[in-house]
Structure 1
Amino acid sequence: MTTSRTSARRGPSRGGRLITVFASLLTALMAWAPGAVADTGPTLRGASLQTLSPGDPIFSSGARCTAGFNVTDGTDVFLVTAGHCTSVGSDWYADPQHTLPIGPAVSSSFPGNDYGLIRYDNPDLTPEGGYSFGSPYVGKQVYITIPETGTLGGTITGLNATVDYGPDGIVHGLIRTNLCLPTGARGGTPLFAPNNQAVGIASGGSGSCSSGGTSYFQPLDEVLSSFGLVLY
């Protein structure tokens, strides 16, 4: 299988790399992360008192990722995204020009897991809430929404998947789906279920949206339980 990759590291995006999947006899995985991409994306809003929603692009120095879900410990509000994003970016913004700050990355877990927390420090930026937690199980209907391609639906095909991202390390306990991850889907892309259920955040994937694919998501419940958080 031919694989490709975009990188969350600072600097130009790198080319394809063969990696190994140790989950359900899969042997090839495209491990992607939002890297220093040539396109900076559209200018986001640009005014104060804006709302940051799951699926919106977020930016750091040399990296572009995706907002997952907003969570809280009862005092502060945090944005959950992929750990391979927060491990390379310290300060995050809601626009590519870095004029609308979100706040700093305060926790990263990658490899092993693939989640990170960004704390909201900008009072002019409103985190969107209104989601409930949805437990993952095999056969559950799920979907992602990408600005470039719209909504893509599929099902959960496995739990506790282990993925080897080569030099970047191994991640355990991932949700496996039959969703493809198109070019516009970057690290942290939220995984939804019907009725506004929040299920997970994107870690990586393989395949083509023209012929089908396999994608892996960090379960959201692990993030919530690890830090004593609830959905905002």
Structure 2
Amino acid sequence: MRHVNGIRAVLPALLALTSLGFGLSPAAAVPDTAPAAAAARPAPAADPGLVDALRRDLGLTPDQARTRLDQEATAARLLPRVRDLAGSAYGGAWFDPARGRLVVGLTDSAHAAAVRATGAATAPVARTEAALDGAKAAVDTVSRSRPAPAAVTGWRVDPRRNAVVVTVAAGSRTDGRVKAFLDAAAAAGPVAVEETAEQAPRTLSAGVVGGDPYYINGNTRCSIGFAVQGGFVSAGHCGRAGSSVVGWDGSAMGSFVDSSFPGNDYSYIRIGNGWWTVPVVLGWGTVSDVLVRGSWQAPVGSSVCRSGSTTHWHCGTVLGLNETVNYSQGAVYQLTRTSVCAEPGDSGGSFVTGDQAQGVTSGGWGNCSSGGQTWFQPVNEILSRYGLTLVTA
């Protein structure tokens, strides 16, 4: 908050306010995203509110939720190691809730024993992740010269299907423009087509509503993503470089240093005027505020939760990585698809798995009454793009 009093010097009070974009000064927080440091630290006990949120949104019992959180944390920490062990045979990986284990796709069984020795399971696949990423990049190239029609909602690498999955509106496959795009995509590599009844994806910014986290140029509301040294990150479609930002109380926070949309959907906002940062994601009373301890990427199949200024706290699962989403404003690349709902005003908000930052809300379809899906821009890409350091506990 811009003005600090004695109560706000107490850490619990600061943590309760942190998603509004202020709290401890940057010098008080030391980043810790190194795998060795994260692996050495014992996992904190699961927050009762988070367990309850997973019970509500994923239909788990409390014991199942706690077990799953532990299993997912193990899987995320194994991911870099098994990728190295698999080498050129690596065909992607995903978390299997039924087995509670990371599953690693391999094109060569000679690597299976070493991978299984880590505790991960293996599955034979025909194509490497590198080949699938190359095919997906080729489809992206097709889309730049031949923009996808609106009935093509997106495309992604799916490690479980070992293919590039293109999603299209139900009943649209025979449409001439859709068919032409699918033919061009199929020529680029291994493609599977998935018909879906989902609505067209949209971004999730909103007009001014009092009492919400931050406003851009006085007339658009978005949600803070994660605190970084010097400011915070959010969605790119929320504002442009130089756009001024004010907080929930109407006081000046700072301005957008840079943003990218479409193509990407990320931004960096530098703060000042007495606003501080803390390593916390607001739980909105549904869960205790979440301390951010790093940014390990959660594999497909993991649970993930989102915090936003409109619909507050909701959970779901990671459905896909490296997806191109065909918004009306243009395609956005390398997003992560989730089953979490969202609504206008949630744009830019935080996605977390356990205590690990995942990304900032980009867009979606549906709502939190009837259901829907959302995509997020991975936070590690944003940090790398701007040379930022995540504020962590």
TM-score tier (shorter): 0.7 to 0.9
Q: Does structure 1 residue 113 correspond to structure 2 residue 261?
A: no
For 2:241 and 2:221, the matched residues in 1 are separated by 11
Find the counterpart in structure 2 of residue 198 from structure 1. Answer: 357
Runs of 5+ consecutive residues of structure 1 not aligned to the other structure: 1-17, 43-55
- Give TM-score, length-normalised by structure 1: 0.74
- Structure 1: distance between partners of 2:312 and 2:348: 16
In structure 2, list runs of 5 or more residues that go unmatched.
Answer: 1-149, 156-164, 170-198, 280-290
Q: 1:70 to 1:180 in 2, by over 3 A?
A: same
Q: How many pairs were matched up?
A: 190
CA distance in 2, matches of 1:93, 1:231: 22
Identity level (%) = 36
Q: Decide which structure has greater helix share.
A: 2
Task: Please tell me whether the aligned partners of residues 58 and 67 of structure 1 are also in contact (alpha carbons under 8 angstroms).
Answer: yes
Judge conservation of contact 2:309–2:346 (CA < 8 Å) in 1. no
Check 1:153–1:165 CA distance in 2 against 1; reply closer, same or farther (3 A cut).
Answer: same
Q: Does 1:60 align with 2:216?
A: yes
Higher strand share goes to which structure? Answer: 1
Q: Relative to structure 1, is the Cα distance of residues 141 and 230 closer, same or farther in structure 2, using a 3 angstrom cutoff?
A: same
* Deviation by residue 1:2-27 (Cα, 9 ceiling, x = unmatched): xxxxxxxxxxxxxxxx6741224144
Q: Residue 210 of structure 2 corresponds to which residue in structure 1?
A: 41
Q: State the 1:213 CA deviation.
A: 1.3
Q: TM-score, normalized by length of structure 2?
A: 0.45
Q: Give deviations 1:195-223, integer Å, cap 9, x for gaps.
A: x2110001100123334311100000101
Structure 1's 89 and 65: CA in aligned 2 closer, same or farther, altered over 3 A?
Answer: farther
The amino acid of 1:22's aligned partner reads: G
Q: Which amino acid aligns with 1:59?
A: Y
**Which protein shows a greater Rg?**
2
CA gap of 1:206–1:113, structure 2 versus 1, over 3 A, is same
Q: For 2:346 and 2:151, locate their aligned partners in 1 and report how far apart those are by CA, in whole Å.
A: 18
Report what 2:376 is aligned to: 217
Q: Name the counterpart of 1:9.
A: none
Give the 3-state SS of the residue equivalent to 2:357 in structure 1: strand
Contact 2:311 2:342 in 1 (8 A): no
148 and 170 in structure 1: CA distance in 2 versus 1, 3 angstrom threshold: closer
Task: Judge conservation of contact 2:339–2:372 (CA < 8 Å) in 1.
Answer: yes
Structure 2 Cα separation of the partners of residues 64 and 147 of structure 1 = 9
Aligned 1:145-184 pairs, distance under 5 A: 145-146=307-308, 149-166=311-328, 168-183=329-344
Q: Which residue of 2 aligns with 1:22?
A: 154
Please give the alpha-carbon distance, in whole angstroms, between the structure 2 residues aligned to 1:200 and 1:40. 24
For residue 32 of structure 1, what is the aligned residue in structure 2?
203
SS at match of 1:224: helix
In the alignment, what sits opposite 1:7? none
The letter for the 2-side match of 1:179 is V
